[in-house]
Structure 1
Amino acid sequence: MLTIETLTRAELGAGMAADGIVLQTGVFAVQLQSAIPSVVNGIHQLYGNYPLLPSHAFADFHLRLVQSGGLRRWLRPQVDLLYDGVTVFKPLPLAQAFPMFEWGLNWCVANRAHSYLIVHAAVLERDGRAVILPAPPGSGKSTLCAALAHRGWRLLSDELTLIRLADGLVQPLPRPVSLKNASIDIMRAYLGKAELSPPVAGTGKGTVAHLLAPPASVARGAECARPGWVVFPRYQAGASSTLEALTKGQAFMQVASNSFNYSVLGARGFDALAGVIGAADCYRYTYSMLDEAVAAFDQLAARS
Structure 2
Amino acid sequence: MTDANFAKQLACSGLIVESGPFKFLIRSAIPAIAQNLACLYAGQSEFASKDVPSVFFDFVVSIDLPNGIRSLFHKQAQFYLDDRVIFNPFPLHHATAMLEWGMNWCISTQIHTYLIIHAAVIERDGFAAVLPAPPGSGKSTLCAALVQEGWRLLSDELTLIDLSNGYAVPMPRPIGLKNQSIQILANRYPQAVFGALSSDTLKGSVCHLKPPIESIAMQKVVCPIAWIVFPQYLADAETDLCDKPKGESFMALADNAFNYSHLGTVAFDILKQVVDRAACHGFTYSQLDEAIAVFNRLEARDAI
Match of residue 19 from structure 2 = 25
Partner of 1:222: helix, strand, or coil? coil
Deviation, structure 1 residue 83: 0.6
Query: In structure 2, which of residues 213, 218, 221 is the aligned counterpart of residue 220 of structure 1?
Result: 218
Alignment correspondent of 1:46: 40
Counterpart amino acid of residue 22 in structure 1: I
2:181 aligned partner: 183
> Residue 59 of structure 2: which of 54, 61, 77 is its match?
61
Could you list the structure 1 runs, at least 4 aligned residues long, displaced by more than 4 angstroms after superposition.
none
Aligned to 2:139: 141
Matched residue, 1:233:
231
2:123 to 125, 131, 140: 125
State the shift of 1:63 in Å.
0.3
SS of alignment partner, residue 184 of structure 1: helix
Secondary structure, aligned partner of 2:130 = strand
- Report the counterpart of residue 109 of structure 2 in structure 1: 111
CA separation in 2, counterparts of 1:53 and 1:77?
27
* Percentage of identical aligned residues: 45
Q: Please state how far the C-alpha of 1:138 moved relative to its aligned partner.
A: 0.1
**Alignment match of 2:265 (pick from 254, 264, 267):** 267
- Following TM superposition, by how much is the alpha carbon of 1:303 offset from its aligned partner in structure 2, in angstroms? 6.8
In the superposition, the TM-score normalised over structure 1's length comes to 0.95
Aligned residue identity for 2:41: Y
User: Does structure 1 conserve the Cα–Cα contact (< 8 Å) formed by 2:10 and 2:47?
Assistant: no
The counterpart of 1:153, out of the listed 147, 151, 172, is: 151
Contact 1:126 1:301 in 2 (8 A): no
Q: Does residue 74 of structure 2 align to residue 80 of structure 1?
A: no
Aligned to 2:167: 169
**Amino acid in the other structure paired with 1:215:** I
- Deviation string, structure 1 residues 203-245 (Cα, Å, up to 9, x no partner): 1111100011111101110001101000000000111110010
Cα RMSD, aligned residues only: 1.4
- The question of whether the paired residues in 1 share the 8 Å contact of 2:15 and 2:45 is answered with no
Q: How many residues align?
A: 298
Q: What are structure 1's unaligned runs of at least 5 residues? A: 1-6
SS in 1 for 2:154: strand
Q: CA deviation at 1:16?
A: 1.2
CA distance in 2 between counterparts of 1:119 and 1:28 reads 16
Alignment-derived partner of residue 254 in structure 1 = 252
Q: How far 1:166 sits from its partner (Å)?
A: 1.8
Q: CA deviation at 1:301?
A: 3.3
SS in 2 for 1:207: strand
Q: Which of 98, 101, 105 is 1:100 aligned to?
A: 98
Q: Find 2:205's aligned residue among 204, 207, 213.
A: 207
- Extract unaligned runs of 5+ from structure 2: none
Tell me, yes or no, if structure 1 residue 15 matches structure 2 residue 13.
Answer: no
How many angstroms apart in 2 are the aligned matches of 1:205 and 1:11? 33
2:148–2:212 Cα contact (<8 Å) kept: yes
What TM-score does the superposition give when structure 2 sets the normalisation length? 0.95
CA shift at 1:71, angstroms? Answer: 3.6
Whether the aligned pair in 2 keeps the contact of 1:68 and 1:77 (CA below 8 Å) is: no
Checking the alignment, whether the CA contact within 8 Å between 1:78 and 1:94 is kept in structure 2 is: yes
1:194 to partner: Cα distance = 2.4
Matching residue's letter, 1:75: F
CA shift, 1:53, in A, is: 6.3
Alignment counterpart, residue 30 of structure 2, candidates 36, 40, 49: 36
Contact kept in structure 2, 1:16 and 1:34, CA below 8 Å: yes
**Relative to structure 1, is the Cα distance of residues 303 and 268 closer, same or farther in structure 2, using a 3 angstrom cutoff?**
closer
